[in-house]
């Protein structure tokens, strides 16, 4: 009886693993704006819905919107300039730019489908071109569908871990491998967004070298005790500067 039960567990585990791979292969598609093949299991409309639904809660976590309509309009103006002069205009996403009230946390991020946020703590350190660099980078995350890709990849590794756990008690090992791969892919997302940010800046008339200054600001903000790159979802600012310089040369020579 025990032996038969063991065989059934192996069979079920293998079936789950096979299903995970079949589902992943059927979810592959090429991003028309980056040319990269990604694992995506949601539509652009679903991404937009997630972003719209999450925006109020996310804003509240950072103290709401900064209470100055002129500065909000300024952020909108720079963000919309980047969209209207780039491939972002061709995408189905609903770009919307938000200046958050938090004056302590240096941060900027994008939600699926188009909402882009920057904290006042970071905003107040930037000139217009540097702000364009930050917003361009975040628009790059939306164009690259990075959130949707991470969601699909996470579901894949969770399913694999479940199959391995049922079949051979190896779920923790598979889950750990998946987390490491997602961490590595997350760094790739940042570099791809930097690259797209450089392109958006050039298309909109901004000097992309200002993005290098943004990296220096982020490095200073992190201080000497910043997390080593191999433990962080973001590449080290020094490595990002090198890649940004390569992107500047690439697009200027096209």
Instruction: Reply yes or no on whether the pLDDT at 181 is more than 70.
Output: no
Full-model pTM? 0.77
Instruction: Reply yes or no on whether the pLDDT at 207 is more than 90.
Output: yes
Residue 134 CA to residue 132 CA, distance in Å, equals 5
pLDDT band at 177 (very low <50, low <70, confident <90, very high): very low
**pLDDT for position 40:** 83
**R_g over Cα of the chain:** 21
Residue 31 CA to residue 33 CA, distance in Å, equals 6
**pLDDT for position 2:** 47
Instruction: Reply yes or no on whether the pLDDT at 251 is more than 60.
Output: yes
Tokens, residue 146 = 């990075």
Instruction: Reply yes or no on whether the pLDDT at 230 is more than 60.
Output: no
How far is the CA of 70 from the CAs of 73, 75, 100, in angstroms? 5, 9, 13
Helix segments in 27-145, DSSP class H: 44-61, 69-84, 120-123, 128-143
pLDDT band at 74 (very low <50, low <70, confident <90, very high): very high
Instruction: Reply yes or no on whether the pLDDT at 1 is more than 90.
Output: no
Instruction: Reply yes or no on whether the pLDDT at 122 is more than 70.
Output: yes
Q: Give the range among 32-36, 86-90, 91-95 with minimum mean pLDDT.
A: 32-36
pLDDT band at 238 (very low <50, low <70, confident <90, very high): confident
Q: Give the range among 26-40, 55-69, 226-240 with minimum mean pLDDT.
A: 226-240
b/e sequence 23-53, b meaning 16+ C-beta within 10 Å: ebeebeeebebbeeebbbbbebeebbebbbe
pLDDT band at 168 (very low <50, low <70, confident <90, very high): very low
Instruction: Reply yes or no on whether the pLDDT at 31 is more than 70.
Output: yes
Instruction: Reply yes or no on whether the pLDDT at 61 is more than 80.
Output: yes
Largest CA distance in the chain: 74
């Amino acid at each position: 009886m025990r032996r038969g039960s063991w065989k059934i567990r192996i069979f079920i585990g293998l079936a789950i693993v096979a299903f995970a791979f079949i589902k992943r292969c059927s979810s592959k598609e090429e991003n028309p704006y980056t040319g990269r093949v990604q694992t995506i299991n949601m539509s652009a409309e679903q991404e937009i819905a997630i972003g719209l639904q999450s925006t109020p809660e996310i804003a509240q976590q950072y103290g709401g919107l900064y209470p100055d309509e002129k500065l909000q309009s300024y952020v909108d103006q720079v963000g919309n300039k980047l969209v209207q002069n780039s491939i972002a205009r061709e995408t189905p996403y609903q770009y919307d730019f938000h200046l958050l009230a938090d004056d302590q946390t240096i941060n900027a991020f994008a939600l699926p489908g188009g909402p882009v946020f920057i904290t006042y703590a970071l905003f107040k350190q930037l000139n217009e071109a540097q702000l364009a660099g930050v917003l361009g980078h975040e628009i790059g995350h939306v164009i690259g569908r990075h959130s949707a890709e991470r969601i699909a990849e996470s579901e894949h590794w969770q399913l694999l871990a479940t199959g391995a756990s049922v079949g051979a008690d190896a779920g923790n090992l598979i889950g750990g491998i998946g987390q490491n791969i997602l961490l590595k892919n997350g760094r790739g997302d940042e570099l791809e967004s930097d690259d797209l940010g450089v392109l958006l800046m050039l298309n909109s008339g901004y000097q992309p070298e200002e993005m290098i200054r943004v990296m220096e600001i982020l490095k200073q903000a992190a201080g000497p005790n910043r997390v080593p790159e191999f433990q962080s979802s973001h590449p080290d600012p020094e490595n990002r500067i090198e890649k940004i310089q390569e992107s500047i040369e690439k697009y200027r020579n096209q």
